[in-house]
Amino acid sequence: MDLLELMYNGKFPPFYALNLWNEEYAKLVSEYAETENKIIETCPEIKELFEHYQEIQSKINTIMQYREFRNGFRIGGQLMEEMKKPLDYPKE
């Protein structure tokens, strides 16, 4: 079943289940985890503050991701509206 069929049938999978990750993403996630561990090991007393920072950053990212997702649909809708217009070929 393709994505359109899933959407039509009300079975649209959550974004994380679409398996859109690539090698670069996996590498960056690994590097992020290593860096986080180094920060906590180097300065254990900062752990609580650092976790709070991450929570705030996660909320900001979620808001921005939704906004971009929404904008994508709006742009798609505008493109569909334009597709209904007749083509205006230049006269030679």
Structure tokens at 22: 């690539």
* Contact criterion met (CB below 8 Å) for 5 and 13: no
What is the residue-level pLDDT of the chain in tens, covering all 92 positions? Answer: 676 777 778 787 666 666 667 888 889 989 999 999 999 999 999 999 999 999 999 999 999 999 998 998 899 889 888 888 887 777 76
Q: What is the rounded CA–CA span in Å between residue 81 and residue 85?
A: 7
Give first-to-last CA distance, the chain, whole Å: 46
| pLDDT score, position 52 | 96
Q: What are the extents of the domains in the chain?
A: 1-42, 54-85
